Structure 1
Amino acid sequence: MPFKINDIVVRKSHGFDILFKVIDVIENRGVKHYLLHGITMRIVADAPEDDLMPASMSRINEYDEPYQKKANYLIKKIAESKDLKRRGMMRSNRSEPYGKPGTVLHIDGDEGYLNICLDAYKKANIEAHGEIVDEEDQPDKVLDLLNKYRPDILVLTGHDGVKNSRNYSDLNNYRNSKYFIDAVKNARKYEPSLDDLVVFAGACQSNYEAIIAAGANYASSPERVLIHCLDPVLVCEKVAYSHINEIVKIEDLIENTITGSPGIGGLQTMGKFRYGAPKAKY
């Protein structure tokens, strides 16, 4: 059956494993293919018409429940950790301390995902600026956006995917990894230090090794798995609320994500949270 833009579908060939939104219809010699974006997973794929089925409403409602439960748990865990740190500072200071977490510039190729992420930053009391930029345009625009916002943490994400699972070393085998790599390289022209500007880059199945080699602190995807749309936010929250004199434990950061070590990895990095005292009276 024909599908329309924004229809929610599943693929028969992959066991109906992921919910996709149709974003484009491509017709070649009378054969229709559809370009697909993951609903909660940061993957882009294409499929012929006969491989797709419309997703039922019950399937749509059930699909994201386990991921959302874990995301809510992790966000709550971060909030509890922040409260414990604040109480620890109060015991060592006569006056109640206050603090400033790191600021975030989140550049995303997907408007829907960006809005979900900005809402999560807001709940975590992190100052975050969001910009919708197609993956292929991120290398050209990242410098101007860094100069505009001057963040502590930069996120470069959107959608990605491996075209052929037999060759993980060829950059041309990835839909958008080369754009994330070039954007990271340009960001490092703005700030070479990995501790002064913390960079997360990548999406589903991205070329993790090449993105890290380009200068990112954190990236996806070590085992070329799918990552959740909130994984970059959870990485940022851990860095933003870790003290500037502390190295963020990479094991703790990975544990703090939905995907875990198959999808997220990186390098030792200093935190971005600054304590202050006393708290203003007025």
Structure 2
Amino acid sequence: MQVKIGDVVVRKSYNFDLLFRVIDVISSASGEQIAILHGDEVRLIADADCSDLVLVDETERNSRKQREKERIDQSYHLFRQDYQLLREKQEYYATSSYSHNEEFFHMPGRVLHVDGDPLYLQKCLALYEKIGVPVNGVHLNEKEMPEKITDLLSKYRPDILVVTGHDAYSKHKGNIDDINAYRHSKHFVQTVRNARNKVPHLDQLVIFAGACQSHFESLIRAGANFASSPSRVNIHALDPVYIVAKISFTPFVERINVWEVLRNTLTREKGLGGVETRGVLRTGMPYRKPTTQ
């Protein structure tokens, strides 16, 4: 089968489980055509012999995307429920439970989202906007992230940093504990280390790091508050957004139970984990409406 860049395909050897985008086609030493693949909904990078690939027609793509949309909508619905409870609770404490007529304003945590995939970055930015999280998005190749993260932190001064893109574990490169057996985990780890050198405290800069099958333990040891992937499974493209949105909208006086963060994600505890962390939202009053000329 003739495969070209931009095609959407599935792999026969994996029982057609995931949709992939073809981002490159190269020739192996033996002359075989090898496709470099990025997951269409999961943050996985893979390669496959072109003979193992099957093109996905528009009908099948739409069917899969509809099922995926239903999962995303369910997670979004659960997040909105959590957010409403958080807001009511924060307003109750802010007024010492007394009734009054003043209006509040909220200052959710600012996010810097650094992503190795420009298409995933746009999907994430659209969801941040829908939820109401203030965000700056930057697309960088995973290998560039360590050297550029310090300048980006100085420029944007975020409360929350997301470092993500594509990753994969290759068992033929080493055992599961060997970080060199992972496509980009070492780049994510070094990026987290460099960020922590600039902002050491876990509650002054909250960090999410990792992608599909990433080396979870190394990312946490490097200083990430939340990371993927404890069970080395694939994570959804939007999972980082749900994690940092929960942190962004949790008051700074509260600590976040890790399970409360994970339960509304699409991957949950097999793909994501973390350590106890403070929220970053602040509530103020009174709210002053902008004057109109």
Distance (whole Å) between structure 1 residues aligned to residue 163 and residue 47 of structure 2: 23
Q: Specify the alignment match of 1:125 in structure 2.
A: 132
Asked whether the 8 Å contact 1:67–1:258 carries over to 2, the reply is: no
Distance (whole Å) between structure 2 residues aligned to residue 132 and residue 191 of structure 1: 22
Asked whether the 8 Å contact 1:218–1:265 carries over to 2, the reply is: yes
* Residue deviations 1:141-183 (CA, integer Å, cap 9, x gap): 1111111100000000000001117711111110000000000
Q: Specify the alignment match of 2:225 in structure 1.
A: 217
Instruction: Single out whichever of 57-66 and 25-34 deviates more from structure 2.
Output: 57-66
Distance (whole Å) between structure 1 residues aligned to residue 288 and residue 5 of structure 2: 52
1:169 aligns with 2:177: yes
- RMSD over equivalenced CA pairs, Å: 1.5
Instruction: Single out whichever of 154-163 and 61-70 deviates more from structure 2.
Output: 61-70
Distance (whole Å) between structure 1 residues aligned to residue 191 and residue 238 of structure 2: 20
User: Alpha-carbon deviation of 1:55?
Assistant: 1.1
Asked whether the 8 Å contact 2:164–2:188 carries over to 1, the reply is: yes
The residue identity in structure 2 corresponding to 1:45 is: A
Equivalent positions of 1:139-158 (< 5 A) are 139-158=146-165
Q: Specify the alignment match of 2:266 in structure 1.
A: 258
Rate the CA distance shift 1:34–1:184 in 2: closer, same or farther, 3 A. Answer: same
User: Alpha-carbon deviation of 1:280?
Assistant: 1.3
Distance (whole Å) between structure 1 residues aligned to residue 116 and residue 177 of structure 2: 24
Q: Specify the alignment match of 1:78 in structure 2.
A: 79
What is the percent sequence identity of the aligned residues? 43
Distance (whole Å) between structure 2 residues aligned to residue 202 and residue 22 of structure 1: 22
Q: Which runs of 5+ in 1 are unaligned?
A: none
User: Alpha-carbon deviation of 1:8?
Assistant: 0.5
Distance (whole Å) between structure 2 residues aligned to residue 110 and residue 281 of structure 1: 38
Rate the CA distance shift 1:85–1:174 in 2: closer, same or farther, 3 A. Answer: closer
The residue identity in structure 2 corresponding to 1:9 is: V
User: Alpha-carbon deviation of 1:256?
Assistant: 1.5
Distance (whole Å) between structure 2 residues aligned to residue 270 and residue 181 of structure 1: 22
* Residue deviations 1:176-211 (CA, integer Å, cap 9, x gap): 000000000000011000000000000000000111
The residue identity in structure 2 corresponding to 1:197 is: L
Rate the CA distance shift 1:85–1:266 in 2: closer, same or farther, 3 A. Answer: closer
User: Alpha-carbon deviation of 1:93?
Assistant: 5.1
* Residue deviations 1:193-242 (CA, integer Å, cap 9, x gap): 00000000000000001111111000000000000000000001110001
2:241 to 230, 233, 236: 233
User: Alpha-carbon deviation of 1:124?
Assistant: 1.1
Q: Would you say how many aligned residue pairs link Structure 1 and Structure 2?
A: 282
1:16 aligns with 2:24: no
2:287 to 250, 274, 279: 279
Q: Which runs of 5+ in 2 are unaligned?
A: none
Distance (whole Å) between structure 1 residues aligned to residue 236 and residue 115 of structure 2: 14
Instruction: Single out whichever of 232-241 and 67-76 deviates more from structure 2.
Output: 67-76
Equivalent positions of 1:58-137 (< 5 A) are 58-88=59-89, 89=91, 92=98, 94=100, 95-137=102-144
Say which SS state the counterpart of residue 269 (structure 2) adopts. coil
Equivalent positions of 1:26-41 (< 5 A) are 26-28=26-28, 29-41=30-42
Say which SS state the counterpart of residue 36 (structure 1) adopts. strand
Say which SS state the counterpart of residue 64 (structure 1) adopts. helix
User: Alpha-carbon deviation of 1:61?
Assistant: 1.4
Distance (whole Å) between structure 1 residues aligned to residue 67 and residue 152 of structure 2: 35
